[in-house]
Chains A and B, each alone.
Chain A
Amino acid sequence: MEYASQLNNQLQNTIALLSGYWPEFIIVIGLVVTLIIDLIFFNKEKNSNWWIGFVNLVFLILAFTKQVDVYSYFSNLGEFMKLVLLFAGVLFIVFSLTQTHQTKKAGEYYIIFNGLLIGALLIAKSTNLLVIYLGIEMMSISAYVLSAFSFNKNSAEASLKYLLFGAVSSAFMLFGMSLLYGFTQTLNINDFELLHTVKVIGDLPIKLAVFMTMFGFLFKIAATPMHIWSPDVYEATPTFVVAAFSVIPKLAVFVLLFNIADKFLVFPEVELLLQFTAILSLTIGNFAALWQKNAKRMLAYSSIAHTGFLLIAFFANMQSFVFYGLVYLIMNFAVFGLVKVVEQKFSITDIEQYIGLGKKIPLIGVLFVVALISLTGLPPTAGFTAKILVFSGIWEKYLTNHNPVYLSLFVFGLFNTVVSLFYYLKIPYFMFIKKSNEVILNEHKSSTVLTYLIGSLVFVLILCFFLPNSLMDMIYSINFAQ
Chain B
Amino acid sequence: MSNETASFGEILIYLIGGIVFISGGLFTAWIIRPKRPNEEKLTTYESGEDPLGGAWGQVNIRFYVIALIFLLFEVEIVFLFPWATVFGREELIEATDGLWGWVALSEMFVFIFILALGLAYAWRKGYLEWDKPEIKPSDFKGPVPTEKYNAINHKYSKFTSEQPKK
Contacts of B124 in A (CB 8 A): 39, 43
Of residues A1, A36, A39, which shows the largest number of chain B Cβ atoms within 10 Å of its Cβ? Answer: A39
A39 & B120 in contact (Cβ 8 Å cutoff): yes
**CA–CA, A19 and B146, complex, Å:** 75
Q: In the complex, what residue of chain A is closest to B127 when comparing beta carbons? A: A44
A to B contact number (C-beta, < 8 Å): 40
A8 & B117 in contact (Cβ 8 Å cutoff): no
B2 & A12 in contact (Cβ 8 Å cutoff): no
> A5 at interface (Cβ–Cβ under 8 A)?
yes
> A441 at interface (Cβ–Cβ under 8 A)?
no
Interface SS majority for chain B: helix
- On whether A43 and B121 interact (CB within 8 A), knowing A1-B95, A4-B91, the answer reads no
> B163 at interface (Cβ–Cβ under 8 A)?
no
- Per-position 1/0 for B105-148, Cβ under 8 A of A: 00000000010010011001110000000000000000000000
A182 & B95 in contact (Cβ 8 Å cutoff): no
Q: How large is the interface on B (under 10, 10 to 19, 20 to 34, 35 or more residues)?
A: 10 to 19
Within 8 A of B (CB), among A13-57: 15, 32, 35-36, 39, 43-44
**CA–CA, A175 and B98, complex, Å:** 39
Q: How large is the interface on A (under 10, 10 to 19, 20 to 34, 35 or more residues)?
A: 10 to 19
Q: In the complex, what residue of chain A is closest to B103 when comparing beta carbons? A: A11
Interface SS majority for chain A: helix
Q: In the complex, what residue of chain B is closest to A44 when comparing beta carbons? A: B126
- On whether A4 and B95 interact (CB within 8 A), knowing A11-B100, A11-B103, A39-B120, the answer reads yes
> A190 at interface (Cβ–Cβ under 8 A)?
no
Contact of A185 among B4, B92, B99 (CB under 8 A): B4
A182 & B92 in contact (Cβ 8 Å cutoff): no
A7 & B117 in contact (Cβ 8 Å cutoff): no
B114 & A5 in contact (Cβ 8 Å cutoff): no
Contact of B99 among A8, A35, A39, A182 (CB under 8 A): A8
> B5 at interface (Cβ–Cβ under 8 A)?
yes
**CA–CA, A215 and B49, complex, Å:** 46
A8 & B125 in contact (Cβ 8 Å cutoff): no
- Distance to closest chain B CB from A33 (angstroms): 11
- Distance to closest chain A CB from B6 (angstroms): 12
**CA–CA, A43 and B123, complex, Å:** 9
Contacts of A8 in B (CB 8 A): 95-97, 99
Contact of B95 among A5, A12, A43 (CB under 8 A): A5
**CA–CA, A4 and B125, complex, Å:** 47
Contact of A7 among B92, B120, B125 (CB under 8 A): B92
Contacts of A4 in B (CB 8 A): 91-92, 95-96
Q: In the complex, what residue of chain A is closest to B99 when comparing beta carbons? A: A11
**CA–CA, A222 and B100, complex, Å:** 44
B2 & A185 in contact (Cβ 8 Å cutoff): yes
- Distance to closest chain A CB from B32 (angstroms): 42
Contacts of B99 in A (CB 8 A): 8, 11-12
Contacts of B91 in A (CB 8 A): 4
Contact of A35 among B2, B92, B117 (CB under 8 A): B117
Q: In the complex, what residue of chain A is closest to B129 when comparing beta carbons? A: A44
Contacts of A200 in B (CB 8 A): 1
Contact of B126 among A5, A7, A43 (CB under 8 A): A43
B103 & A7 in contact (Cβ 8 Å cutoff): no
- Distance to closest chain B CB from A8 (angstroms): 4
- Distance to closest chain A CB from B98 (angstroms): 10
**CA–CA, A344 and B162, complex, Å:** 62
Contacts of B100 in A (CB 8 A): 7, 11
A32 & B117 in contact (Cβ 8 Å cutoff): yes
Q: In the complex, what residue of chain A is closest to B2 when comparing beta carbons? A: A185
Q: In the complex, what residue of chain A is closest to B1 when comparing beta carbons? A: A200
- Distance to closest chain A CB from B60 (angstroms): 17
Contacts of B103 in A (CB 8 A): 11, 15
A35 & B121 in contact (Cβ 8 Å cutoff): yes
Within 8 A of B (CB), among A162-210: 182, 185, 200
**CA–CA, A163 and B61, complex, Å:** 17
Contacts of A44 in B (CB 8 A): 125-126
Within 8 A of B (CB), among A350-382: none
Contacts of A36 in B (CB 8 A): 117
- Distance to closest chain B CB from A104 (angstroms): 12
Identify 12 residue pairs between A and B in the complex whose beta-carbon atoms are under 8 Å apart, listed by A's number. A7-B92, A7-B96, A8-B95, A11-B100, A15-B103, A32-B117, A35-B117, A36-B117, A39-B117, A43-B125, A44-B125, A182-B5
| 8 new A-B contacts at CB < 8 Å, known A12-B99, A32-B114 | A8-B95, A8-B97, A11-B100, A39-B121, A39-B125, A44-B126, A182-B5, A200-B1
Residues of B within 8 A of A (CB): 1-2, 4-5, 91-92, 95-97, 99-100, 103, 114, 117, 120-121, 124-126
Q: Which 7 A-B pairs rank lowest in CB-CB distance, beginning with the nearest?
A: A4-B95, A44-B126, A8-B96, A39-B124, A11-B99, A43-B124, A44-B125
